[in-house]
Amino acid sequence: MAEKEHLARLKQGVEAWDRWREENPDLKPDLSDAKLERANLGGADLSGVDLYGAILIGVDLTGANLSDADLTGADLYGAILSGADLSGIDLSGVDFSGVDFSGVDFSKIDLYGVDFSELNLRGAILSKMDFSEIDLCGADLSGAILRGADLSEIDLSEIDLSGAILSEVDLYGAILSGLNLSGADLSGASLAIVQARGTDFRGATLTGACIQDWHINADTKLDDVVCEYIYLKQGKEERRPSDPSQTFALGEFTKLFQKAQETLDLIFRNGVDWKAFAYAFQQLQIENEADELAIASIENKGNGVVVIRIKAAPTADRPKLHGDFMQVYEVVHKTLEAQYQARLEDKDKHINQLFALVQSSQSQNSEVTKRMADTPKFNFNAPVGNVADTVQAGGKMQAIQHNYAAETKQNLAEAAKEIQDLLYQLSLTNPSSTDVVAAVHQEIRRNPTLKARLISALKAGGLEALKSIFDHPLFSIPAETVKGWLEAE
């Protein structure tokens, strides 16, 4: 219960209360459970006061000093805390529903777990704050100062941030769809991967912001955006304009990036299965002929991320198109993956068979070369074929048999053993095809014996002989390329 004397002092007015506090600096006033509905306590010194369980409904605490006060269990519904000093207060146990926090400096306050939903935070100072555990749903942050704040991956779609100062703020992956950011200062902010469909950026400042893979649509408003330069990649990379001495002319940013509003952005984070893409996109075009779908651009963002922008009519239902495309793409992709896996198993079988034959070549040369000639050669790099046929029935591989004259078999067996062994070793580390070709070329140049065998095989059996030697299940080097190496040196 509140001390009667303390409560009486407060009811004498703010001026009398502050004078009493100055005269008793070591006294800690007790106003616990006090009923102070709609009292005018603007500018009052309430530092260190025990307000546990106090009824503060509709109280005007504008500019009041509440530092280190105990507000646990207090009812602050409708209270006005505009510009109040809340430093040192444990806010985690306080119900702030309906409270006006406009202009409050929260930059040095621990807000972990605080529920700020539906609050008036207009003009509040929230610089360098981590909002990862704070509920801001429905809060009014218009004009708030959020310099350097961490708002990454937060759903801000129902928050008013018009005119807010968000310079250097981290909004990576945040949901901004439908958000009012008109006039906001987003200079230097990270807008990478943000969802900004229907977001209002009119008059906002985006100078120095990063817009890597941001998602905007035809309803995103970019009119009158103020922007001297932008980054297309985090870490201040891929500056536009590229020349650091140049800046966008007035309105140029809007003109250059407006095209994104006319596109459907398809983002692939683990590369693109182009056969699956071709089939899914063709089907999308057929089923949505009126939307005039066409590929606008293909951008390789690095680290496996590819963005394909599809131009569509302004009236197109982009979310539906995106969902329809991805559904078909995933089905086709998984079907093709299953076929590729089957091919890999066939490759392993063929490799084992091939090396079992080659390893016994020294002691059983004639028998080995005969069996090699009878062994089917599979072209594992052949196209899958029509995607629709692949999905419905699967592909078929045909065996191709090569027969060589008896005098060429010895050279074929010896050269094949060395080349196939080299290709097999390279396949274990999965290098690129370019690396394989370079490594084989280097081995031929440094190994005169191998080179002589290949030349002999070429003279005896021509290109067909080289094709037989270099036709590996994983890496097939054209015989014409090898012939060029041998003739050039």
The full set of domain ranges for the chain reads 1-100, 118-262, 274-333, 341-488
Give the pLDDT band (50/70/90) at residue 131.
confident
Q: Residue 382 carries which DSSP code?
A: S
pLDDT of residue 370: 47
pLDDT digits (tens, 9 = 90+) for 289-308: 888 898 888 888 777 888 88
pLDDT of residue 6: 93
The interaxial angle of helices 318-359 and 365-374, nearest 10 deg, is: 150
Picking from 420, 445, 443, the residue whose alpha carbon sits closest to that of residue 361 is: 420
pLDDT of residue 175: 84
CATH number for region 1-100: 2.160.20.80
Cα–Cα distances in angstroms (integers) from residue 182 to residues 53, 102, 169, in the given order: 40, 19, 16
pLDDT of residue 428: 52
Q: CA torsion 238→242→245→247, rounded to 10°?
A: -90
Q: Which of 97-101, 261-265, 273-277 has the highest mean pLDDT?
A: 273-277
Quote the CA–CA distance of 47 and 62 in Å, as a whole number.
Answer: 14
Q: What sign does the CA torsion over 352, 353, 354, 356 have?
A: positive
The interaxial angle of helices 406-428 and 433-446, nearest 10 deg, is: 130
Contact 299, 306 (CB under 8 A): yes
* Structure-block tokens of residue 413: 């067996």
Quote the CA–CA distance of 304 and 288 in Å, as a whole number.
Answer: 29
Stretch 70-81: mean pLDDT:
84
pLDDT of residue 112: 67
Q: What are the helix (H) ranges across 360-405?
A: 365-374, 387-393
Stretch 63-69: mean pLDDT:
90
Contact 475, 419 (CB under 8 A): no
The one-letter amino acid code at 370 reads K
pLDDT digits (tens, 9 = 90+) for 356-378: 544 444 444 444 344 444 444 43
Quote the CA–CA distance of 310 and 307 in Å, as a whole number.
Answer: 10
Residues facing 294 on adjacent strands: 311
Stretch 406-418: mean pLDDT:
62
pLDDT of residue 429: 52
Is residue 396 left, alpha or beta, with left meaning phi > 0 and alpha meaning psi from -120 to 50? beta
Quote the CA–CA distance of 337 and 360 in Å, as a whole number.
Answer: 35
Please identify which residue in the block is written with the tokens 């937060």.
154
Phi and psi torsions of 323, nearest 5°: -65, -45
Q: Residue 367 carries which DSSP code?
A: H
pLDDT of residue 342: 62
The residues, ordered by sequence, that sit 6+ positions from 383 with a Cβ below 8 Å of its Cβ are none
Q: Is the peptide bond before 241 cis (omega within 30 degrees of 0)?
A: yes
Does the structural domain 118-262 have CATH classification 2.60.40? Answer: no
* Structure-block tokens of residue 36: 């102070």
* pLDDT beyond 90 at 397: no
* pLDDT beyond 60 at 259: no
pLDDT of residue 433: 60
Quote the CA–CA distance of 45 and 41 in Å, as a whole number.
Answer: 9
pLDDT of residue 427: 55
* Structure-block tokens of residue 14: 């703010």
420 or 168: whose pLDDT is higher? 168
pLDDT of residue 391: 41
pLDDT digits (tens, 9 = 90+) for 24-63: 999 999 999 999 999 999 999 999 999 988 898 889 998 9
The one-letter amino acid code at 264 reads L
Contact 144, 164 (CB under 8 A): yes
pLDDT of residue 203: 94
pLDDT digits (tens, 9 = 90+) for 102-130: 777 777 676 766 777 777 777 777 777 77
Stretch 186-194: mean pLDDT:
92
Q: What percent of the chain has pLDDT over 90?
A: 20
Contact 269, 240 (CB under 8 A): no
Phi and psi torsions of 122, nearest 5°: -60, 125
Stretch 71-82: mean pLDDT:
84
Q: What does the mean pLDDT of the chain come to?
A: 77
pLDDT of residue 48: 93
Domain 1-100 identical in fold to domain 118-262? yes
* Structure-block tokens of residue 369: 């070369």
| This prediction's pTM | 0.46
pLDDT of residue 357: 45
Give the pLDDT band (50/70/90) at residue 200.
very high
Residues facing 200 on adjacent strands: 180, 221
